[in-house]
């Protein structure tokens, strides 16, 4: 079970700034994580493809393998729109 | 030394520009992004900006360090919270020895902020509310 921070419209759609998601194994990829989030929160599923994952405040790729046995800060980053 | 900030207060453009003034630089280029009323036929009334603040600060610092490694000086400030029309949302400033470098680096910084720094806008338009970054929302 890991905690994942949400921002912008993802936060609004789920009505929470953090969610918890469970995994069958300890080394999911970013793509697995997004799939798990989509399964647990169908309301955001259609919006997840362009969303990036940040681990400890740094972007990681779709194929990155996550070691969820360690403590890290996870965040889903929707396409940014500052400026 | 770069000056980086996320602020809920109005951006003081003259103060930030002054941070770039130095005898070693011959060119200062600044960009100020402001809240625009019209995007095609969509009329915006105000915008609210939010951020993953700790990561956004890190990303801004990383970008500024990259540019300052060339000898330039960088100022990057983004406003958060609720902004009315014409208010400044972002200030990007670069001082360098010559103008060509300052123009190029200012554009690079602004373009990269819009692609990579975790800051989001929520537009309050006359017909409805739109989040930036959603392709079908025309922004």
- Rounded to whole angstroms, the Cα distance separating B35 from B15 reads 20
- Rounded to whole angstroms, the Cα distance separating B81 from B50 reads 6
- Rounded to whole angstroms, the Cα distance separating A73 from A57 reads 7
Q: Nearest C-alpha of chain B: how many angstroms from A1?
A: 22
In chain B, residues with a C-beta closer than 8 Å to the C-beta of A5 are 52
Closest alpha carbon within chain A to B36: A83
Q: Tens place of pLDDT for every residue, chain B, 139 residues?
A: 899 999 999 999 999 999 999 999 999 999 999 999 999 999 999 999 999 999 999 999 999 999 999 999 999 999 999 999 999 999 999 999 999 999 999 999 999 999 999 999 999 999 999 999 876 654 4
Do the chains contact at B50 and A5, CB–CB below 8 Å?
A: no
- 3-state secondary structure (DSSP) of residue A16: coil
> Is the pTM value of this prediction over 0.90?
yes
The kind and range of the H/E element at B7 are strand B3-7
Q: Nearest C-alpha of chain A: how many angstroms from B25?
A: 26
Locate the domains of chain B by residue range. 3-132
Domain B3-132: which CATH number of 3.40.190.10, 3.40.50.20, 3.90.1170.40, 1.10.230.10: 3.90.1170.40
Do the chains contact at A81 and B55, CB–CB below 8 Å?
A: no
Residue-range domains of chain A with CATH: 2-77 (3.10.20.30)
């Amino acid at each position: 079970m890991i905690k994942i921070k949400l921002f912008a419209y993802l936060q609004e759609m789920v009505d929470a700034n953090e969610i918890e998601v469970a995994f069958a194994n300890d080394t999911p990829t970013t793509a697995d994580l997004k799939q798990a989030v989509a399964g647990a929160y169908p309301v955001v599923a259609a919006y997840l493809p362009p969303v990036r994952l940040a681990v400890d405040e740094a972007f990681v790729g779709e194929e990155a393998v996550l070691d969820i046995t360690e403590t890290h800060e996870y965040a889903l980053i929707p396409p940014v729109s500052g400026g | 030394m770069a000056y980086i900030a996320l602020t809920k207060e109005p951006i003081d453009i003259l103060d930030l520009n002054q941070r770039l003034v130095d005898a070693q630089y011959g060119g200062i280029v600044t960009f100020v992004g402001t809240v625009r009323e019209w995007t095609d036929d969509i009329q915006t009334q105000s915008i609210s900006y939010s951020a993953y603040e700790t990561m956004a600060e890190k990303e801004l610092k990383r970008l500024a360090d990259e540019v300052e490694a060339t000898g330039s000086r960088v100022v990057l400030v983004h406003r958060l919270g609720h902004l009315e029309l014409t208010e400044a949302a972002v200030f990007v400033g670069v001082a360098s020895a010559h103008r060509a470098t300052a123009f190029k680096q200012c554009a690079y910084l602004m373009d990269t902020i819009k692609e990579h720094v975790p800051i989001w806008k929520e537009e309050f338009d006359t017909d409805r509310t739109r989040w930036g970054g959603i392709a079908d929302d025309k922004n």
